[in-house]
Chains A and B, each alone.
Chain A
Amino acid sequence: MSSQGIEKKQSVQELIAQSRNKKGKKIIEKLMPLILIITAFISVLTTIGIIFTLIFETFEFFQRVSITDYLFGTEWLPFSGSEPLYGVLPLILGTLKVSVIAACVAVPLGIAAAVYLSEYASDKTRRIIKPILEVLAGVPTIVYGFFALTFVTPLLQQLIPSLKIFNALSPGIVVGIMILPMIASLSEDAMSSVPNSIREGALAIGATKLEVALKVVLPAALSGIISSVVLAVSRAIGETMIVSLAGGATPNFEFNVTGSIQTMTAYIVQVSSGDAGYGTTIYYSIYAVGFTLFIFTLSMNLLAQYISKRFREEY
């Protein structure tokens, strides 16, 4: 037995030695990290490249249009030939209208769904409903877009006769539906990670299930819930297809939600798909608007990160 064992061991060692001496393996060992480093850098560099292009072209835009006119102007009329106006506030307002409506729809519904899934649903129900929610998150936004235009808008017109074909309300609601699964799913994760011992502590002093859910679990999971909301709203701000299809192309600085609007994203789509010549002011304006949008979403993402770190409950 023992001599056989030794023999076997030697032969395996020999095989290992043989394969170690193969040239190809050594080269791959040295080459692979290099390839991996390159791929990592490509993703970082492209991001940096995009940001720099954005900054340079935005800078070019501000050579032509004064930055105060851009930031504080209340009229966005780039196509009026003789005297184009580049006041970005109407576009920002359009984006905010849609995002606020979306948040009004998605935050209460999303959190309520999360409370149900985390505190009330049986394991079986949760296992069925959560994947369905996540499928909803995978529906292409263009589908949501024509859903808004061809289904929600006519439906809303039954209720509000003054509603225009293109308006802020319908895309706002549909963007809300789009970000709802994100809020529900992330908030549910946050609530499920509250330890059971804390729920038991509350139940043991006579709290009802609802009191446990609303007064113990919800506050304990608040940081996760808030950051899910911020991330979702950041998606709503950046959302493009739904608002391009159903929001219209009329930037205006009015506070009603029934008329046509234009969001920052929809303006970029309009110019990109149109025939603004390279080097024109209109061409550079999309970079300025893109940069403005980037500042919005970046600050939302940083806010989400800050909230989830700063307010993380320790248990």
Chain B
Amino acid sequence: MVELMIKNSDQINMKSQKQAVSPMINRVEKNTVFGTKNFNLWYGEHHALKDIQLDIKENDVTAIIGPSGCGKSTYIKALNRMVELVPIVKTSGEINYRGRNIFDSSYEVEELRTKVGMVFQKPNPFPKSIYDNIAYGPRIHGIKNKKILDEIVEKSLRGAAIWDEVKDRLNQNAYGLSGGQQQRICIARCLAIEPDVILMDEPTSALDPISTLKVEELVQELKDNYSIVIVTHNMQQAARISDKTAFFLNGEVVEFDYTDKIFSTPRDGRTEDYISGRFG
């Protein structure tokens, strides 16, 4: 149903359909995976995220769009606390993962990241064999049995739609693969520990169109089993693959709604300006 719009990424078409899309099909309210309440984040003095309120639902693909520097990457990195790698970061407010505030001092960051996987902008496989890349996660979390590992590796590579391309060279270095293949290896690495949520930070920005298409198709398949949050610069991509879209601007959430609504009848003028290409 949401895919209605998705085939039509052309913006003029979108505008003409603006009125045509009937306001509502009944949407089922899903469980909240990430509940963000009054969340603020500072890099030193710079107030990068301002009073974010955002609920990310189970088995949704949630796209985050916005111009460069709007805080979208910062937000997604806050969800698995990777943002804390920048030493000067300060936060206030809450991000609740399955009801528990991840910024609580008692929350172990490794535990969170085992549940919330991440795929980065630039493919970053380890300089190891393809097999060892996938097996790394299960191994550090204590799975040593070779047979189980073999199964995990195959399942993850199949899950990332790259098994057929690499099954005969699992022992070769992952850096011998193309950029698009490397990115799917990184997705497989993420799937290997069967996380609950997958965060994707502009996963296709370094890829060619064909590889991009493959990753997008993959996202569609993965949403049956995972909740996905994807940051993208590419509005057509957001329209094609996401169920909900959040539009960030200057560290604030300007609008957050079902993707078809955002792209057909945005409530805020700034959203409309951005998606119609007037700025950004």
Contact = CB atoms under 8 A, between A and B. Distances in A.
B80 interface: yes
A211 interface: yes
Contacts of A275: none
Contacts of B141: 206
A315 interface: yes
Contacts of B111: 206
Interface in A270-315: 313-315
B120 interface: yes
**Interface range for A:** 20 to 34
**Interface range for B:** 20 to 34
A201 B125 contact: yes
Contacts of A202: 126, 136, 140
A287 B125 CA distance: 52
A206 B85 contact: no
Contact of A201 (B173, B186, B193): B186
A215 B136 contact: yes
A165 interface: no
Interface string A174-207: 0000000000000000000001011011111111
Contacts of B110: 206-208
Contacts of B125: 201
Contacts of B80: 204
Nearest to B138: A205
Given A202-B126, A205-B137, A220-B127, 20 more contacts: A198-B124, A198-B126, A200-B120, A201-B126, A202-B140, A204-B117, A205-B140, A205-B190, A206-B113, A206-B140, A206-B193, A207-B110, A207-B140, A211-B140, A215-B140, A219-B127, A219-B128, A313-B173, A314-B175, A315-B175
20 contacts: A198-B127, A200-B82, A200-B120, A200-B124, A201-B186, A203-B82, A204-B117, A204-B118, A205-B136, A205-B189, A205-B190, A205-B192, A206-B110, A206-B114, A206-B137, A206-B141, A207-B137, A207-B140, A211-B140, A215-B136
